[in-house]
Amino acid sequence: MNKYAISVINVSKKYNHTCALDNVSFNLAKGSCLGLVGPNGAGKTTLVDSITGIINIDSGGIFVLEEEMNLHSISIKNRMGILPQELSLLDYLKCNEYLSFVAQLYKVDKQQIDNRINSLLRVFGLYQKKDKLLCEFSVGMRKKVAFIATILHLPEIVILDEPFESVDPLSVVIMRKIIIRLLQKNTSILITSHNLDMIEKLCNEVAIIKDGKIIYNSDTKDIHSKIKNELTKETYNSLEEIFIDMTKQEQDGDVIPSWL
Amino acid sequence: MKILISQIKLILKQKYRAFLYLIKYRNDALYIISLFILIILLLSNLLSSISILNSPVMSILFGGNHNRRLLISTTISTIITTIWLLLSTIVGINLTQNLNKKFFLRFPINTFNFAILNLSTQLFDIGLLIVAPFFFFLLYILNIDSIINVIYSLVIFLMFLCILICTVNVIKSLNYYLCLFISFFLTFVNFVIIYFLINGLMINLISEYTTKYFSLYPPLIFIRIIDNIHFGNYTVAFEECAILLIEFCLIFIIYLFTLRSISKNITNDNRLLNLSRSLLHKFSFNKQPMLKLLSFTRQEEAFIIKDIFYIIRNHRIKTWFLLILISVYLISNLQIDNLLKHIITISITFIILLPLACNYFAFDNKGLLLYFITPISLKNVLTNKNKSIVIICLLISIPIIIWDLVINSFSLYFVLITIPILVYQLYCIIIIGSAISLYFPYKVDYEKIMGQFNPVLSQPYIFVSFMLSQGILALFIYIFSQNKLILLLSIFSLSFISFIIYSLLLKHYFINIFLRRKTIIIKEITKNEIILYE
């Protein structure tokens, strides 16, 4: 039996001669959490969209739960929960209507729908607002609703594209707790985020993507043993240090304009 | 002061751009109304001209002053002022929608200056700059020599200005559809002012109307219009049309205010809130008693219920419904064969409902992405959407058709002929709706606008294709109308043919196109956000 929940093998994707993904390969083990980080435009969302089947890849293969993933893989999608970066909310449904609609699409047991929705809304402090239209919600609240919709059917694989963006610190803590609970239930999770500290705390594995290539992929616990300077044998203190070191060449972040 | 001037420049630039992109900034409702007004005005002038040239009958409109130059000037002035007001409305709406007030409020400008800024830009409205020369040209060609008349004209000109400023300000603060109504109403007011101007402010309009039109009952007015057209009294017919128009405007404003007050009450009054909740609960996701009878799958049910909620909350569809009622009412007053009247009613209802089907994907907006990430077969997305469109169209059209059957002669033959026509129209709406929404997933609505060219292309496509389908129906009726039984059978066969064409050929073709164009559709939808439900 395959121990990987997601296997990405030599995946490439081009947009009008721009290489968004260049021979990307990595695995996500069952019951583990992989953090995918990278600068803006590195190809994180393209990779997530490829894994979720939203876009077709040019070459390579993506296997999810031992099946090749494509847009028509209904059985796999039923076992996945996806939070896309571009939130797929139906703005003119009320919060509870939207969540019920999503639950119906995932064929969640009818008796459990209300219970699940209400309990999660209470946790995120949205219960009082469940009868409001989603278009009236703030960006952070919409993110929370989309997160609830992602985990409502207790998926085996959860893919979260920038889940902590625009969300208040309290809700981030709640999200983290929920993710930890899901991991305890042997759920496999893939997270993309710019919150490196959170990725380091939450994930067992981390991958850095830059210009469509995976430039670093290792266990989180190995971060502190990675050698920074061969001469002094100095090691990295955090993921942030590795990230800055590996991605700084293009961004001249050290030089701040003199007029500022 | 420098900031103020730069802001004025910026807004003027924006207004100028809005003017240049008028075609792109139009909204279909506004477009229809403006066309409607222009057609009425042009037609009225044409009819007046014919009436005056053909008979020496005194008309109220021209007070016996049979002057071709006057006729031309009336036409020009009414068209120009109509365009002016509509343009101002569009500019006002666009400024409200597109101009980011927060952007200006970030700068160190106090609120008073901001208000002055708004007023000053309104005074320099691009529409005003265009209309002013025409207005003075009009004064010139009317040979107004008396100084009092010139003063009167200037006063009226200032009135125009006030109306313009009020319009823009009202637009900024009120409901979008109310604004459309205001533009519609002000155009009429404008016409009346022109009328006074041309008649030298001397005709006692009120006494004429009180004696002549004692009864303002709409059907009677409509009959009088038909009579007057029949006997060649075109100007009188036009006046009657104007009264009818006012009545419809009043109905419209009552409708809008009722709508607003209801929505206000629902938010403030718990009893109404509970009532609306309990009503909606009957349609809730967990019960769905009606749909259970029709034995849909859970996903289909969810789709249909979701679409019904979307429709309930869509202001535009409410306006369409009103449009259907007005059309049906007008058709019911036509002096034609009852059967033909009935068929036209169904056709008109479906023509008005057509945009609903053409916005399959645009209605869902970014929520469309949901269908790609949830375990729903993409092959079923299109068919589920078609099913919900059919149910919604039936929910809207059946009460209208029943009403039409009741007010016309109700018979078994009428009911029998209604069924195949309804089926035929539903298939037409599904086929055209699928095609349009696949090839123009976002573009059919004119809400968000910059850089969108496809609406212009898709609009004629919709109407041509629908008119073609209606043409086929008309052809069938024309060919087989000699015998009622043959007509009935032929229309049944027509609906059967449409069923065959859709289910055996087009359904799979559309699904394949959907699968092929999915990336383009997602891209189209996610990059354009539309506001349909303000």
* DSSP codes of every residue in B353-382: HHHHHHTHHHHHGGGGHHHHHSS--HHHHH
Same domain, B488 and B342: yes
Please compute the mean of the pLDDT values over residues B30-54 and round it to a whole number: 46
pLDDT tens per residue across span B176-203: 455 455 545 555 554 554 455 444 443 3
Say which of A52, A92, A104 has its CB closest to residue B299.
Answer: A104
When divided into structural domains, chain B yields a total of 3
Task: State how far residue B301 is from chain A, nearest Cα, in angstroms.
Answer: 9
Same domain, B87 and B174: yes
pLDDT of residue B29: 41
Q: Which residue of B has its CA nearest to A134?
A: B367
Q: Looking at the domain assignment, is residue B263 inside a domain?
A: yes
Q: A97 and B285 in contact by Cβ < 8 A?
A: yes
Q: Give the type of residue at B166.
A: C
Same domain, B509 and B374: yes
Domain boundary residue among B229, B262, B281? Answer: B281
Contact list in A for residue B285 (CB cut-off 8 A) is 97, 100-101, 104, 113
Contact list in B for residue A104 (CB cut-off 8 A) is 285, 298-299, 301-302
Q: Which residue of A has its CA nearest to B364?
A: A90
Cα A43 from Cα A85, distance rounded (Å): 13
Q: CB contact, 8 Å: B204 with chain A? A: no
- Name the band, by pLDDT with cuts 50, 70 and 90, for residue B32: very low
pLDDT tens per residue across span A38-54: 888 888 888 888 888 77
Question: If you ran DSSP here, which 8-state letter would residue B448 be given?
Answer: S
Contact list in A for residue B315 (CB cut-off 8 A) is none
Same domain, B360 and B333: yes
Cα B226 from Cα B331, distance rounded (Å): 13
Six-digit token pair at B402? 């029943």
Q: CB contact, 8 Å: B314 with chain A? A: yes
Contact list in B for residue A70 (CB cut-off 8 A) is none
Cα B331 from Cα B326, distance rounded (Å): 9
pTM of the full predicted structure?
Answer: 0.63
Which of A105-119, B36-50, B143-157 is least confident?
B36-50
Contact list in B for residue A88 (CB cut-off 8 A) is 366-370, 373
Same domain, B274 and B334: no
C-alpha dihedral, B280 to B283 to B284 to B288, nearest 10°: 160
Cα A206 from Cα A216, distance rounded (Å): 8
ipTM value: 0.82
pLDDT tens per residue across span B363-396: 777 788 888 888 888 888 888 888 888 888 888 8
Q: Which residues contact B272 (CB under 8 A, 6 or more apart)?
A: B262, B265, B266
Region of residue B205 (phi > 0: left; psi between -120 and 50: alpha; otherwise: beta): alpha
Question: If you ran DSSP here, which 8-state letter would residue B445 be given?
Answer: S
Contact list in A for residue B518 (CB cut-off 8 A) is 71
pLDDT of residue A158: 93
Same domain, B158 and B277: no
Cα B23 from Cα A109, distance rounded (Å): 50
Per-residue pLDDT for B492 more than 70? yes
Six-digit token pair at A170? 């309290």
Per-residue pLDDT for A33 more than 60? yes
Per-residue pLDDT for A232 more than 90? no
Per-residue pLDDT for A180 more than 90? yes
Same domain, B331 and B254: no
Same domain, B119 and B239: no
Same domain, B224 and B196: no
Q: CB contact, 8 Å: B287 with chain A? A: no
Cα B45 from Cα B47, distance rounded (Å): 5
Question: If you ran DSSP here, which 8-state letter would residue A13 be given?
Answer: E
Say which of A93, A106, A113 has its CB closest to residue B306.
Answer: A93
Cα B439 from Cα B453, distance rounded (Å): 13
Cα A35 from Cα A194, distance rounded (Å): 10
Fold topology of A1-79+159-166+188-251:
Rossmann fold (3.40.50)
Contact list in A for residue B533 (CB cut-off 8 A) is 91-92, 135
Same domain, B351 and B437: yes
Yes or no: say if B304 and B388 are a contact pair by the CB < 8 Å rule: yes
pLDDT of residue B486: 79
Same domain, B246 and B337: no
pLDDT of residue B160: 54
Chain B interface test: which of A90, A145, A160 (most B C-beta within 10 Å): A90
Same domain, B210 and B185: no
Indicate the average pLDDT of chain A: 86
Q: Where are the domains of chain A?
A: 1-79+159-166+188-251
Say which of A80, A84, A106 has its CB closest to residue B369.
Answer: A84
Q: CB contact, 8 Å: B373 with chain A? A: yes
pLDDT of residue B207: 35
Q: A90 and B376 in contact by Cβ < 8 A?
A: no
Of A30, A53, A3, A8, which is closest to residue A212 (Cα–Cα)? A8
How many residues are present in chain B?
Answer: 534
Q: Looking at the domain assignment, is residue B388 inside a domain?
A: yes
Cα B224 from Cα B245, distance rounded (Å): 14
Per-residue pLDDT for A170 more than 80? yes
Q: Looking at the domain assignment, is residue B273 inside a domain?
A: yes
Task: State how far residue A92 is from chain B, nearest Cα, in angstroms.
Answer: 6
Task: State how far residue B91 is from chain A, nearest Cα, in angstroms.
Answer: 25
pLDDT of residue B442: 63
Q: Looking at the domain assignment, is residue B291 inside a domain?
A: no
Task: For residue B356, give its domain range.
Answer: 313-527
Indicate the average pLDDT of chain B: 61
Q: What burial class does residue B211 get, using C-beta atoms within 10 Å of its C-beta: 0-12 exposed, 13-18 middle, 19+ buried? A: exposed
Six-digit token pair at B336? 């034609």
In B369-506, where does DSSP find H-type helix? 369-373, 378-407, 412-439, 454-480, 484-500
pLDDT tens per residue across span B454-481: 333 444 555 556 666 766 777 777 676 6
Q: How far apart are the first and last CA of chain B?
A: 36
Of A70, A149, A136, which is closest to residue A104 (Cα–Cα)? A149
Per-residue pLDDT for B143 more than 60? no
pLDDT tens per residue across span B347-368: 878 877 777 787 777 777 778 8
Q: Which residues contact B406 (CB under 8 A, 6 or more apart)?
A: none
pLDDT of residue B445: 43
pLDDT of residue A60: 87
Task: State how far residue B200 is from chain A, nearest Cα, in angstroms.
Answer: 53
Contact list in B for residue A54 (CB cut-off 8 A) is 369, 372-373, 522
